[in-house]
Amino acid sequence: MPHKTRWLSTKEVRSWRAATRVTRYLFQAMESQLQREAGLSFVEYHTLAMLSEQPDHTMRMSRLADLTNASLSRLSHLVTRLERRRFVRRASDPANGRFTNAILTDEGYEKLVAAAPAHVTQVRELILDEFTAEEIQQIGEFAERLLNRIGAPLSTTE
């Protein structure tokens, strides 16, 4: 019941606020640029992107949900919308009927290819260009340490 809370020091608060503020700000910037220029949300874009990296442009819903940081429910709704727009289609896994595969259509692939340059350019201008290669490396290490601590799977490629 006691559990004395270890409050944050002034320096910690400062770092913490800057970090939360900037991450939220950057997400919003990317969201609205993608939305404006491609009519895709950040998650939608990454859903297409993850699929495009698979040799057969196919991935199981549950894995896709994990990689895009979305709940299965959220992904399911989202894929339904992407299906309506013909960017993705579903097919249940012939090997195991419990699994559903999401499959990138040609149209979806074209959409991604059209959207990518502007997005990547924004990421460079907004973020990467601020840092040296070593700093980018450093940031990646910090992020990976946190992912390990949390127990989140790291890699994209299985």
Which amino acid type is present at position 29? A
Cβ atoms of 114 and 38 within 8 Å: the answer is yes
Using rule CB under 8 A, residue 77 touches a second copy: no
The interface with DNA within residues 32-61 (CB under 7 A) comprises 32, 35, 41, 43, 60-61
Please provide the distance, in angstroms rounded to a whole number, between the alpha carbons at the two ends of the chain. 43
77 contacts which partner out of a second copy, DNA, none, CB within 5 to 8 A by kind?
DNA
How far are the Cα atoms of 26, 74, 82 from residue 59, in angstroms, in the given order?
28, 16, 15
Nearest to a second copy of 24, 86 (CB atom): 24
For 98, residues 6+ apart whose C-beta sits below 8 A from its C-beta are none
Listed in sequence order, the DSSP H helices in the chain are: 10-38, 42-52, 61-67, 72-84, 106-126, 133-150
Of the candidate residues 106, 107, 110, 135, the single one contacting a second copy (CB under 8 A): 135
| Residue 50: closest CA among 30, 29, 69, 23 | 69
Q: How many residues bind a second copy (CB under 8 A)?
A: 52
Using rule CB under 7 A, residue 75 touches DNA: yes
**Quick one: which segment of 26-34, 45-53, 106-114, 116-124 binds DNA (CB under 7 A)?**
26-34
Residues that bind a second copy (CB under 8 A): 3, 5-8, 11-12, 14-19, 21-29, 69, 116-117, 120-121, 123-124, 126-128, 130-131, 133, 135-140, 142-147, 149-150, 152, 154, 156
